[in-house]
Structures are given as structure tokens and as C-alpha cells.
Amino acid sequence: MLTGLSIRDVVLIEALDLEFVRGLGVLTGETGAGKSILLDSLGLALGARAESGLVRQGQAQAVVTASFDLPGDHNAQALLADNGLEAAPGEPLIVRRIVKADGGSRAFINDQAVSAGLLREIGATLVEIHGQHDDRGLLNAKGHRALLDMFARADTGAVAAAHAAWRGAEAALVQARVDIETAAADQEWLEHSIAELTTFGPEDGEEDILADERADMQKGARLSEDMIEILKAFEGSDGGLAQLRQAARRLDRIAGEHEMLSAALAALDRAVIEASEAEDALERAGEALRHDPERLDQIETRLFELRALARKHRVQPGELGALLRELSGRLERIEAGADGLAALEADLKTKAAAYRTASEALSDRRKAAATKLDAAVASELVPLKLDAARFHTAIETLPEAQWGAAGRDRVEFEISTNPGAPFAPLVKIASGGELSRFILALKVALAEEGGAGTMIFDEIDRGVGGAVASAIGERLARLSQSAQLLVVTHSPQVAARGTEHLLIAKSHDGFVTRTDVIVLGEDERREEIARMLSGASITDEARAQADRLLEPA
């Protein structure tokens, strides 16, 4: 949900910091007070087009920052992760947009620079804005199928898996046919290459093993003379180690004569031990680095042939074994011929049938859910003074070439606003006021099926009053139980339903015009609703009516 909004130097707003709560927040104020500026500012932070006209006159730039509290399974989390922008557990998601007076703009998510496109993509998962000219969200037919599937509690995973298996079998059959068609040209080359690779017998990791052994032997050849001379110092009765042992034996006979002689004997014993260990280590090193010219020649020949073979086949030396297996498989498919094709064709037929079965079951579930959704929306239309309208979820079976991982259906929400009129897409035939109310009816019907955590309705009550406005307020309040709602309204019936009431007011000090937002207390809220009821002059009757509207439902 949206937790905070900070605006600096946007049109008439000099500096504004707002905090938001869960539930239904209502925004009221006289016409021209600047409600649209507030929504434009939030839209800017969510990736809307940046225009230099938004920058307050005389300022170098405008800045809008919005913070959100997201659950771990929110749709935005996957987008953030894909772009290396994960928010730490328990930390807010902060989006920021800077627009310069010269028209340039910058976007940030959690203080990391991002493109406006990515900000817009993530912003769409955070907030839904429904207004008079909205062409996104519920009005975008591209999302209707997914909304219906959520309403139906449909698991599309089985269809997606069946589709992947079907297309995989189809691709295997196509490849097999291509292999067979090109067999005459390829078979001789395949047989020669397989024989060559089989004779050579490449092993996984062989290049590294050979290279390491070669390096050790070359190192041994380089060090052999030094090793021989060093070992001579240890060998024979005149060698250093023998001399040390002889000295130790003599010292041992007289060590008891003086404590310093005992200390000398101990040191000499340690020297004998260390020298013995050094001799053993030198012998082991000599063995490890033993230079065998014949073996070195064999290693180098094998290594050079291995690398030459890899260059010939345009692979890395370590990939020769995998290449042999791949070529062998291709030759087997060619030699299998018609028998192999028959098996692949049977497999394709089986998997295509499995997809049809799964997609038909999904279509049936969608059709059953569409009937329930149509009824749920219809029950909301009459109280919203749309009793002549009809809502219909159109499900069309697509041509087979367009069947996909989500099934075989195209889904679109349609309406008919007058008796006898044909159904048509929602956005094409509904007027502004009707459109907002249709969106509300749909949202209430889909209330438990997810969507953005924050929804904004811009003057959804335009052109209605009385019982219809009350019905709108009641539905907004109900919808706010599962999502955060912000509603720009001129209707006292809607305003009275709010959990929080924000008053947008314009002031002028003789030089500068400013727009401010005030969080209303209980008494202030009563006065504002009374003003909405009576106009500029607030009467006692209006205050009494405001009290009645504010009574708990």
C-alpha cells in the first residue's frame, strides 16, 4: 500500500508531505483547488510522462517521492528481483522522479537510477488509477483473461506444461524430418566424424589433466639439475645429514657434563629431524617432478591432437565428448528413418491430445466462472443507476495457431448500455460517469481476486447524487476492506464513508498561489461535508445532515 507521498515544486505545490493509512481515503476540495495536481504528482512518481510544465514557476526542478509497504508475494517483487532491486525484508519500496525545467527527467527506485519504462512497469503493479479517461487496468482487454482466471481460481500450470510438451514434441518431429531430408548429404560426414572422435576417445576434463601433467614435467626438466645437486648434499657418509647424525652421537656421550651441552644436543636432534624431513620432501618432489622425455612427448602429442580436433569441429576441447554424443544421436535418428518418425508422430499426437484435454477443461472452468462474474457484476449495476446496462464476459475460441500456454481462449469484458443494444468493449461505449461506475462494479465483483494494493478513483461520482452516490460510497467502503483506496470526490455521501479525509485547498498571499493538503480532524470533517452539502454558506441544517451521513453504517 501507499504509505507516503512527498512533493516538491510541482505546479502550485511548493512543499507537501503526506502519510496515508489503510482503508478508504477521500480527497475533497473546491473545483480548481488542485486535486488533479496531486494525482499528476503521484502519476509522475509511478512513471507517467514527464512534462516541464509540471515544474513550479521559477524553480529548477520538481521532485516527487512515493513510498510503499509491500508484502513478500506482491507482483512488484518479481520485477524488482529481475532487475537487481530487491527491497530488504521489512524495508519500504521508495520510488522517486525528478523533472527539470528544461524537460529532462530522472527516475529512481530505492535510490538506484532506473529507466522511466521500468518505473512505469513497476508502478502499474503498485497503483491502479481509474478516472474519466482511463484506458488501462480493467479496461485493457489484454488483462481480462488473467482476471477471469483469478476469479475462477483456475490453475493454468497444467495447460502451460501440456503446451510446452506439445510444442517440444512438435519441434522434435520437425527436426527429425529435417535430419532425414538432409541425411544423404550429412550421413557420410557424420559417420566419418563419429569414427574419428570414437577412435580418439576424448574424455571429460582431459585437456586440463594433460596440461597440468605437461606443466609439471616441464618444470621438473627445468629443476632437475638443481634437484640433483641439492640431494647430493644429503647422500653418502660425507653428506650433510650423515655429518649431523655423527655429531649428535658424539655429543650424546658428553652432553651430561654440562647443561649447555644438553641444550646443544637437543638443538642438534631437532636439526637431524628437520634435515630428514627435508630429504624425504626432496625425494617426493623429485618423484612428482620426474622428467620422462618419452612420457612428455606422448602428453604433448595427445594434447596438440585434442586441441586440433576441437578447432576442426569448432568446439572447446572439453566439449568433444558431448559433441560425439550429439552426432551419434543424429546418426541414430537418420538410421532409424521411418520407424523413428512414426514414434515421434505418435508422441506428438499424444501430447497434442493432452493439451486439448487440459485447455478444454480450462475453457469450461472459464465459462462457468464467466457466468458467475456476469451475475456478480449485474447485481452491482442497479444500485449504481446502471439498471439498463448489461455486462457480459465474452469468451472466444482462438484459431489453433494462436493457442498458447494460457489456453485457447480470448477473453474480453463487454457491456450494453441500452436495452436491445449490442455488446461492445467497455471503453468504447460507456460515458465517463458510466465508465467509472462500471469499473467500480467490476472491482467489487473481483474484490478478492488481487490486483494492485492501492486503487485511486478520480471523481467516480461525477454527475450522480442521492441514492446513487450513497451506493457508490457503500461499495467503495466495502472494496477498501481488501485494498487501499483513495477517492477524489465531490459527493458528501462518498466523503462520509472515508477512513481518512484530506482537504485540498488553494491559497493566495497576494503574490504566490499555493495548493495545500490538510488532514481533517473529526470536527473539521463535519464542516467540510456540510460545505459540500450546502455550498459556501454552511447552515445548521447542513451540519445536521453531515452528522447523519457520518453516523456509523
CA 394 centroid distance within chain: 30
**Angle CA(6)–CA(11)–CA(15) in degrees, nearest 5?**
35
Percent of the chain scored above 90 by pLDDT?
Answer: 25
Burial of 430 (0-12, 13-18, 19+ CB in 10 A): buried
The C-alpha cell of 480 is what?
A: 477498501
> What is the enclosing helix (H) or strand (E) of 10?
strand 2-10
* Pairwise CA distance, residues 418 & 390, whole Å: 8
Residue 462 dihedral angles phi and psi, to the nearest 5°: -60, 130
What is the rounded average pLDDT of the residues 485-495?
A: 89
Percent of the chain scored above 70 by pLDDT?
Answer: 91
* Contacts of range 232-239, beta carbons closer than 8 Å, 24 or more positions apart: 234/275, 234/278, 234/279, 234/282
Which residues does 402 contact at the CB level (< 8 Å), separation at least 6?
408
Q: Other C-beta atoms within 10 Å of 311: how many?
A: 11
* Pairwise CA distance, residues 55 & 7, whole Å: 11
Is 0.75 surpassed by the pTM of this model?
A: no
* Pairwise CA distance, residues 242 & 233, whole Å: 10
* Pairwise CA distance, residues 466 & 476, whole Å: 16
Residue 414 dihedral angles phi and psi, to the nearest 5°: -130, 160
Provide the H-helix boundaries in 128-205: 144-152, 157-181, 183-200
* Pairwise CA distance, residues 209 & 206, whole Å: 5
For 371-428, how does the pLDDT look when each residue is reduced to its tens digit (9 = 90+)? 999 999 998 888 888 888 889 999 999 999 999 999 999 999 998 888 888 888 876 7
Q: What is the pLDDT of residue 135?
A: 45
The residue range of the domain holding 309 is: 185-327
The C-alpha cell of 193 is what?
A: 566424424
Q: What is the pLDDT of residue 361?
A: 95
In 3D, which of 157, 123, 156 has the Cα closest to residue 137? Answer: 123
Helices 540-550 & 522-534, crossing angle to 10 degrees?
120
Residue 542 banded pLDDT, cuts 50, 70, 90: confident
**Angle CA(323)–CA(175)–CA(183) in degrees, nearest 5?**
75
89 belongs to a structural domain: no
230 belongs to a structural domain: yes
224 belongs to a structural domain: yes
For 266-322, how does the pLDDT look when each residue is reduced to its tens digit (9 = 90+)? 888 888 888 888 878 877 776 666 667 788 888 889 889 999 999 999 999 888 988
pLDDT of 120 > 60? The answer is yes
* Pairwise CA distance, residues 236 & 398, whole Å: 94
For 138-174, how does the pLDDT look when each residue is reduced to its tens digit (9 = 90+)? 777 888 898 899 888 888 899 999 999 999 999 999 9
Q: What is the pLDDT of residue 448?
A: 54
448 belongs to a structural domain: no
* Pairwise CA distance, residues 267 & 414, whole Å: 99
12 belongs to a structural domain: no
* Pairwise CA distance, residues 282 & 336, whole Å: 60
Q: How many helices (H) and strands (E) does the chain have?
A: 17, 15
Residue spans of beta strands (DSSP E) within 38-153: 61-68, 93-100, 105-109, 112-114, 127-130
Q: Other C-beta atoms within 10 Å of 75: how many?
A: 16
The two most distant CA atoms of the chain are separated, in Å, by 128
What is the rounded average pLDDT of the residues 437-466?
A: 75
377 belongs to a structural domain: no
Matching residue, cell 461499495: 475
300 belongs to a structural domain: yes
Q: Is 251 or 292 the better-scoring residue by pLDDT? A: 251
120 belongs to a structural domain: no
Per residue, the 3-state secondary structure of 100-114, as one string, reads ECCCCEEEEECCEEE
* Pairwise CA distance, residues 181 & 346, whole Å: 20
What is the rounded average pLDDT of the residues 17-23?
A: 89
Instruction: Count up the domains in the chain and report the number.
Output: 1
* Pairwise CA distance, residues 334 & 178, whole Å: 10
> What is the enclosing helix (H) or strand (E) of 513?
strand 513-519
CA of 472: how far to CAs of 153, 276, 415, 490, 545, in Å? 27, 96, 19, 12, 18
* Pairwise CA distance, residues 129 & 406, whole Å: 27
Which residues does 31 contact at the CB level (< 8 Å), separation at least 6?
490
pLDDT of 76 > 90? The answer is no
The C-alpha cell of 488 is what?
A: 477524489
